[in-house]
Amino acid sequence: MSERRTRRRAALAAAAAADDAPTKSNQDKTIMNGSGNGNDNGEAVAPSDSKVDVSPRENIFIFWPNIIGYSRIVLAIASLYYMPLHPRTCSLLYSISCLLDALDGYAARYFQQSTKFGAVLDMVTDRCTTSCLLVFLSSAFPRWAIVFQGLISIDFASHYMHMYATLAMAGSDTSHKNVDKSRSWLLNLYYTNKTVLFLCCALNELFFIALYLLSFSSPLLSPQLLEPLGEHKAAAIQTGAQVNSSVLRQLFTNPYSAGALEMARANKMDSTFPWILAGISAPVMALKQFLNVLQMVKASRWLAEGDVDARRKAGLPKKKSMKKA
């Protein structure tokens, strides 16, 4: 009787051991595959409860700073439309466009929407609007055209070389405003101090706006825009013309119409206020042009240093072997 119990217990123990063997083997495979995220072939398998990123893709073009940048372009184009004959309207639209330059940077930091596209859009808008105003000043003051042309060239050349040097030498992830003090403490102060940057840019534009207003008001400068109205145009004004009463025509009047021409000459500004603005902003404008030249020189030297290092790594110039005659 005791032998039968012993054999039965031995058989039950052997059956229990056989049942536990597959479970242990599976556990060993799981450990070998690593943290349970694998199959029998040792390949990684994604866990069943893994979360898939289904967040919507951001549209950079409708970020708030970029929308402000688009509005700057619209205002700049409107100011150019009124520039030939409407100094007050043009100056107002142009000034608002320039002041929004500070607002888009604040919006980028507030909404955490700083982007490379926004930075380039801001720089291109600044360069284009200033250049268009300088082109008009070249035509208003022909004797000084070469000066305005030089200012346009320096502005474009310095910013292009600075941007290219930053991308080529520091990498695409580095902002053009990150100027090391070891290269130029003055450029570092200009780009990192928001107050200095705003004052330099604002007063630089203010000087050119003052010159623009003087082209309509100063008898000392006596530009061609102040020529008296001819008899033919005066007769056209007196005879009248068909009135376009559309809403768009009321908002955007034709700056070249005879009535607009007479209105522009009848509402000429006094030259005192523009002269004061020009006198206040002239030193800062000169400083801004100096910074443009300094920026171009520093960028040129930085690119030259990179060329020297690249040539050294390439083993250039290679020594030419002397051939026997």
Residue with tokens 């184009």: 77
Count of CB atoms situated within 10 Å of the CB of 141: 17
Contact 179, 188 (CB under 8 A): yes
Please name the amino acid found at residue 227: E
Q: Give me the helices (H) in 193-323, please.
A: 194-217, 231-239, 247-251, 258-266, 272-313
Known active-site residue 126: yes
CA distance 131 to 61: 25
Q: Residue 97: which of 209, 253, 17 has the closest Cα?
A: 209
Please name the amino acid found at residue 162: H
Q: Which residues of 63-84 are buried (b: 16+ CB within 10 A; e: fewer)?
A: bebbebbeebeebbebbbbbbb
CA distance 186 to 188: 5
Q: Residue 97: which of 117, 115, 79, 119 has the closest Cα?
A: 79
User: Which are the contacts of 270, defined by CB distance < 8 A and separation ≥ 6?
Assistant: 217
For residue 323, report the phi and psi dihedrals to the nearest 5 degrees. -90, 140
Q: Give me the helices (H) in 83-193, please.
A: 87-110, 116-140, 145-165, 185-192
Among 101, 104, 122, 126, the active-site one is 126
Catalytic residues, by residue number, are 126
